[in-house]
Amino acid sequence: MNAAENAKVVISEIAWMGTNKSYSDEWIELYNNSGSDVVLDGWHLNAVDGAPAIPLSGTIPANGYFLLEKTDDQSVTEIEADLIYSGTLGNSAEHLKLLDASGTVVDEVDSWYGGDNTKKATMERIDPAVSGLDSSNWATANASYADGFGTPKAFNSTGTDGGGSGGDAGGGTPSPEAPSVCGDRTQRLNNVNETEGAINVYFNKCAFPQYASPGNEANYNVNFEDVLINRLKSATKSIDFATYEINLPRVVDTLVQKAAQGIDVRVIADSKDAADPHYAERFEVMRMYLEKMVRGQDGKIGTADDITVFSDSPMFALEDQEKRTAKGLPASADDIKQVTVNVGNSETTGRLFVDAEAKAAGSYYGPGNQMHNKFAIVDNRWVFTGTWNFTITGLYGTEENMQNGILDGNQNHIVEVNWPQLAGIYETEFNEMWGSHLLEPDPVASNFSTRKTDNTTHIIDINGKKVEIYFSAGDNAVGKMADLIRNEADYNTYFSIFAWSEQKLVDELKNKWEGSYNDMEGNLTGFDVKGLFDSDFWNQWWSASVDMTGRTASQTSANNPNTRWNNPAPVYKDAEARKLHSKTMLIDADTDSDPTVIVGSTNWSNNGNNVNDENMLIIHDAAITNQFVQEFNARYIQAGGTLQ
């Protein structure tokens, strides 16, 4: 068969964004849309700019697929590669041409017309009979596989070849385009208290106040940025600020203004992987905002109004003059000393403006782990924490929405507590990462991640409310959750979670639900379980959603053996417009058996518990738990659940 003449072999799918495992795990799929095998010896798949340039060999079967994996056979975890190649795809676009042995162009695509880097969703061809140069013939994959969203060596989820969306087992799932159950987006501030002992909870999405206990309506549709700025502006002595990511100009400006007023401002920020091309722009933007803090209100390095910023890995100033001036920075960063240091396993030269935990003299840890906290301590009294990253996406969704005050970002919560003892506990954690209790950090004494110790009080009383505090790594926060379910949950557990892979926690809940820890064993006990998972992770093999719905995982591991529930629980994937970013569990809500809510930045995973820098609060209080019930019920009904 002459495939060139019949145009039957096509570029079918491209993972230009890599996978959930690594941005470098790129892969490409070819499809043979004919009834005969095609020998690919002598064929090439080349980028017009010269890289990658891939010589092909082997045979693509009739109506079959050919999988090319970058570097090794681990780019797609569960499927054997037909060919290993080298060379990196451009992040913004590539012009790829498929040439047969005679050099004739068989197929081509000249841009990325689909794919989602955040979800690690591939670009899929819709119809193999339509030109790859037709932008309307490409879409973003909506079926999950082990490493993200895509269909390696299978029918495309968006195609006309009979492929489906992958299906959703257990609990039922509405369309992700399901309309919001809350049409009114008016901000409701129903329960805000400034007195000592106050615990204020805020939700950026809607809640159902009809489920409130008397006088306990939740705060919902709240602009978190306004709440944070108001709290920062109230500072008269000090602000300690730990941020995973930040790109909100008003928050940055507020911190700069407070430092200029003589307030002691210390900032810890996570150092993103600058080598990741898919996050390079976000990383650059954050670095420029952090440099604005370091320069202070006068824009000059080394003056009294500067904010000291510290990190788990060093940061170097961006030197692109156009980008710098666009963000209000001096065109040149030459007033920052240029150094050559070791970062991780590599030698790096640049203008170092954010120092970090030192591994040894002139040597730093790499940025691979996450300082995932998002908290502030104001005047050693107020603690502001929760799931919200201080970003445009986290609250508004887009810059246009931010300009118009439209809250269309990820679903989140924040909690602020007025209690000096709690502030002191968070201060101890902050100082351990900072390496000092002073304004200047100590890179040698600093400890992040697994190098930290369990050195804080874990149980306190706030005006009669028992509150537990755990930090990661080191405090076994997720283990405490499992203990709480095993020993104290009597009637119900409701949860909404971004990512959950911790098996012990799954198994303790299984035993409450059906009286057995064993795979596919147990009978319903009458214990009530309801839950929501972020849709990105609903079908991931390691996700607790697979166990709870009685599905067989596509793979297992020692830490995730896939203990299937014999009686599938009413758990759902979310139907939010963006991410369900919760890490929230409610235990014995609206009962007389110590209602408790678990909140904070910690995902229920090995990284969340044992590697990342995180914080978790366990609040034993009926009223606070009931406020979370009001928000949970709105999310649950929107996802297709029922409350009876």
Q: Mind listing the pLDDT tens digit for each residue in 224-246? A: 999 999 999 999 999 999 999 99
> Which pLDDT belongs to residue 170?
37
DSSP 54-123: EE--SEE-TT-EEEEEESSTTSSTTS--SEEE-----SS---EEEE-TTS-EEEEE-S--S-BTTTTB-E
Nearest CA to 277 out of 529, 22, 49, 494 is that of 22
Residue 258 CB burial class (10 angstroms; 0-12, 13-18, ≥19): buried
pLDDT digits (tens, 9 = 90+) for 346-384: 999 999 999 999 999 999 999 989 999 999 999 999 999
Instruction: Report domain extents, the chain.
Output: 3-149, 218-449, 457-638
How many alpha carbons lie under 13 Å from residue 345 in its C-beta half-sphere? 1
Q: Is the pLDDT of residue 26 over 80?
A: yes
Nearest CA to 205 out of 463, 494, 407 is that of 407
Give me the amino acid identity at 271: S
Confidence (pTM): 0.76
In the block, tokens 């599938």 appear at 568
Nearest CA to 277 out of 139, 117, 434 is that of 117
Q: Rounded to 5 degrees, what are φ and ψ at 262?
A: 95, 5
At the fourth CATH level, the homologous superfamily of domain 218-449 is Endonuclease Chain A (3.30.870.10)
Could you tell me if 181 and 48 are in contact, meaning their C-beta atoms sit under 8 angstroms apart? no
pLDDT digits (tens, 9 = 90+) for 251-272: 999 999 999 999 999 999 999 8
pLDDT digits (tens, 9 = 90+) for 131-177: 889 888 899 988 778 888 898 988 787 654 322 222 233 343 333 33
Q: Is the pLDDT of residue 622 over 60?
A: yes
Domain 218-449 and domain 457-638 have a common topology: yes
Q: What is the mean pLDDT of residues 575-603?
A: 96
Could you tell me if 356 and 443 are in contact, meaning their C-beta atoms sit under 8 angstroms apart? yes
> Which pLDDT belongs to residue 176?
35
State how far the Cα of 6 lies from the Cα of 4, in Å rounded to an integer. Answer: 6
> Which pLDDT belongs to residue 175?
32
Could you tell me if 604 and 449 are in contact, meaning their C-beta atoms sit under 8 angstroms apart? no
pLDDT digits (tens, 9 = 90+) for 289-344: 999 999 999 999 999 999 999 999 999 999 999 999 999 999 999 999 999 999 99
> Which pLDDT belongs to residue 511?
98
Nearest CA to 432 out of 469, 458, 471 is that of 471
Q: What is the mean pLDDT of residues 473-495?
A: 96
Q: Band the pLDDT of 212: cuts 50, 70, 90.
A: very high
Nearest CA to 619 out of 600, 637, 596 is that of 596
> Which pLDDT belongs to residue 174?
34
Q: Band the pLDDT of 90: cuts 50, 70, 90.
A: confident
CATH 2.60.40.10 fits 3-149, yes or no: no
CATH of domain 457-638: 3.30.870.10
Peptide bond preceding 249 in cis form (omega within 30 of 0): no
